[in-house]
Amino acid sequence: MTTDATPSATLPGLRETKKQETRQLISDVATGLFLAQGFERTTIAEIATAARVAKKTVTNYFSRKEDLVLDHQDAFIASLAGTVSGRQAGESALSALRRAFTDAAAGTDPVAGFSGPDFARMIADSPTLSARLRDLHDLREAALADALADATGTPRGEIAPRTAAALLGAVHRTLFQRIQELTLAGQDNARISTTVIAEADSAFGMLEPSLADYATA
């Protein structure tokens, strides 16, 4: 029985691995083309040809052209809500998010905005990517509002968690933009990290009068 079961148990894993490899290949090839010739000027057909796959294969893996670039978007949208849901005992939402951002900045995490000058320039030069990034910030804030509602026992959609999420989301959005600005100004990640950690301390501190004890675990 062990011999018969092993192939059937292994094949789904192999298929999933192959899918992930294909997805990563397409993303890597697309990113190379976008950096070389610009996002707006690169077509899906060109990406498919360069990756040696069918055009439909590209669109099956990536429903939007922007998804080929912003491949951390799921983690990005969930990041703030996940931090609140996983906050430590006695820790407020503000404290948890402040700590998480400091850790992300110290680790130059791409989800926090560390992308390198070429990538940052590609985003800045593309109206499509810039618009999609704004959408992702909005989606992240909405997910945070739901997490704050759950954390405080408040019905989702009510004004208090939405307002708190807007304030906390604004700080994160501003810090993300700051990282991009400093990247485009030619600063390296180590210097940017030091700068934004200090600036984050000040920015989050501005919210303490209203949110210091909000959504404490």
Residues 80-111 have pLDDT tens digits of 999 999 999 999 999 999 999 999 999 999 99
Residue 34: exposure state from Cβ atoms within 10 A (0-12, 13-18, ≥19) = buried
Q: 125 is written with which tokens? A: 């030069």
pLDDT reported for residue 11: 64
Domains of the chain and any CATH numbers:
2-65 (1.10.10.60), 73-211 (1.10.357.10)
Helices 93-106 and 159-184 pack at an angle, to 10 degrees, of: 20
SS3 category, 90: coil
- d(C-alpha 9, C-alpha 13), whole Å: 7
- d(C-alpha 168, C-alpha 80), whole Å: 9
Task: Give the dihedral sign, CA 184/187/191/195.
Answer: negative
Nearest to 160 by CA among 152, 98, 205, 26: 152
- Lowest-confidence region among 13-17, 144-148, 186-190: 13-17
Q: Identify the band that residue 178 occupies on the pLDDT scale cut at 50, 70 and 90.
A: very high
pLDDT reported for residue 10: 62
215 Cβ contact list (under 8 Å, min separation 6): 84, 87, 92, 93, 148, 151, 152, 164
